[in-house]
Structure 1
Amino acid sequence: MERGSAPRLFGTNGIRGVPNRDLTVEFAQSIGKSIGTFFRAREVAMGRDTRLSGQMIMGAVQSGLNSTGGTDTVDLGILPTPALQYYCKNTGMPGVMITASHNPPQYNGIKCIDSDGSELAREKEREIEVIHHSGQFHSADWNSVGGRNRWDSTAEELYVRGGWRPGYLWTGSGPLPSGWRWTRATVHLIGRALNYCPGTGGHRSRP
């Protein structure tokens, strides 16, 4: 299949669908294989929101990534998408966010983050689509698949300890914008409030 001829999967904010309807486990695993084949990264950071289907979709994408060989995943748990982006920018690894943002709770989605912390450019999404539709995944031998999937609980703290201006958090790349300054702040997370997204059908995290 030629580049650019594949049907579009990524919308303006990732792939969206209803789990077990159009966003099936098999489809999510295939997308994971496609992402792994495209990035060929040693590690891929993964996060999700509080939707009930999040762990299921994340597990499917994770297994697809592992199957491409040498790609392990870093589970950041439940966190906002900008926190995953900030983590990717600081570690230099690409990321995958399982979220459907503001959509109703029955939806979920798969969003790719580049290694500089930015949302994946449309031309790169198109390459992932071509890989998916062609089925030309990189498939590793049994002794070289990924699978060292580690947990990292530091992403949320890294995010809230970023550059601050009263009322704002700098999560961009490069130098601070004009008029901004670095400062120190103490942030108290009560009940891990950042983890709860109203309207997503998820559960509140325990304190």
Structure 2
Amino acid sequence: MEQRLILASGSPRRKELLQNMNLSFDVVVSNVDETIDRTLSAEDLVQSLSYQKASSIAKSHPEAYVIGADTMVLLDNQVLGKPKTEENAFQMLHQLSGRQHDVLTGVTIIKGKQIVSFYERTLIEFWPLTENEIWNYVKTGEPMDKAGAYGIQGLGAYLVKKVNGDYFSIVGLPVARLMRELQKLGFKNY
């Protein structure tokens, strides 16, 4: 019997990570409203958002393994979302300069009535950045569609001094843990 894997995300980074795992999968973008519920902890919030994404697609595909994911950047327990303007991106990066912050990625896998949700926390430390360095990075456009206003897999790697945890979780999908959780649900990746 053929297994079907669906990524409920339009993120090119998540798609690339699954492709690198040599998996056959479909992308079905979830259009859930990603409203932040301030009553939830950051850990519960990333799992809740990943569940909403996965469940919105799983309803139409009960035979498939559906993966939903959400990534969030936290500085002093405050969520840094995607910047709306270049000035907003500059402010976020200025706040992160020379400091440590957390990246949380929540993942939910749904297969029929089976549901698994988890999150990975990774600690990142930035180099101290000059205003000129920040503006040069902002002007590349890379920060504009990324939580916390940087992409570690691109030019943003220049900003990062140290990573403690799962690098792939920062990019958007903790693939090693994901594969183990899929296997527990009966997915065969060989």
TM-score under structure 2 length normalisation = 0.32
Higher relative CO (CA 8 A, sep ≥ 6), structure 1 or 2? 1
- Greater fraction of residues in strand: 2
